[in-house]
Amino acid sequence: NAGVTQTPKFQVLKTGQSMTLQCAQDMNHEYMSWYRQDPGMGLRLIHYSVGAGITDQGEVPNGYNVSRSTTEDFPLRLLSAAPSQTSVYFCASRPSGGGGGEQFFGPGTRLTVL
C-alpha cells in the first residue's frame, strides 16, 4: 500500500493563478480531509469528505474548492491564488465510523504564492 500520496511536493504560484493539489489513498477509506499548516497555528481543516460525492467545509474554506468523485481521490483546487494561501497542505484519510481509526497523513505540499 502506498497510503496517502500527494502531488506536487513543492509549488510556486503567482497571485491570481489557479492550480489543483492532488491527493489519493489506496486504503479504501471513506473519510478524507485537507488541512493547512501555518507557523504557530497548528493544522487547520479546510474541507473534508465523508464519502464519494459528499463534501463539506471546515474551519478555513475560503478560496478553496473540493470534489470527491471516487473513494480514492480528493483534489483541492485553488481558484485564484493569494499570498495568504502560502502554506503547507496536508491530505489525510481514515476509515469511516466511530472508533479509534487512525488518521493517515500524506507527505504534504509546500505552496508559495508570490
Partner 1 sequence: AQTVTQSQPEMSVQEAETVTLSCTYDTSESDYYLFWYKQPPSRQMILVIRQEAYKQQNATENRFSVNFQKAAKSFSLKISDSQLGDAAMYFCAYRPYSGAGSYQLTFGKGTKLSVIP
Of 13, 48, 64, 87, the one binding partner 1 by CB under 8 A: 48
Residue 10 identity (one-letter amino acid): F
Write down the residue that cell numbers 492550480 correspond to. Answer: 19
Q: Which is nearer to partner 1, 17 or 67 (CB)?
A: 67
Of 80, 107, 112, 114, the one binding partner 1 by CB under 8 A: 107
User: What is the grid cell recorded at 111?
Assistant: 505552496
**Is there binding between residue 16 and partner 1 (CB under 8 A)?**
no
Of 43, 67, 73, 86, the one binding partner 1 by CB under 8 A: 43
Region for residue 106 given its phi and psi (left: phi exceeds 0; alpha: psi -120 to 50; beta: otherwise): beta
Binding window for partner 1 (CB under 8 A); candidates: 17-25, 65-73, 75-83, 106-114:
106-114
Contact 67, 86 (CB under 8 A): no
User: What is the grid cell recorded at 36?
Assistant: 493547512
**Is there binding between residue 58 and partner 1 (CB under 8 A)?**
yes
What is the distance between the alpha carbons of residues 56 and 46, in angstroms, rounded to a whole number? Answer: 9
Q: Give the pairing of strands 19-25 and 104-105.
A: unpaired
Please give the residue ranges that form the binding site for partner 1 (CB under 8 A). 31, 33, 35, 40-45, 48, 50, 58, 88, 90, 92, 94, 97-100, 102-103, 105, 107-108, 110
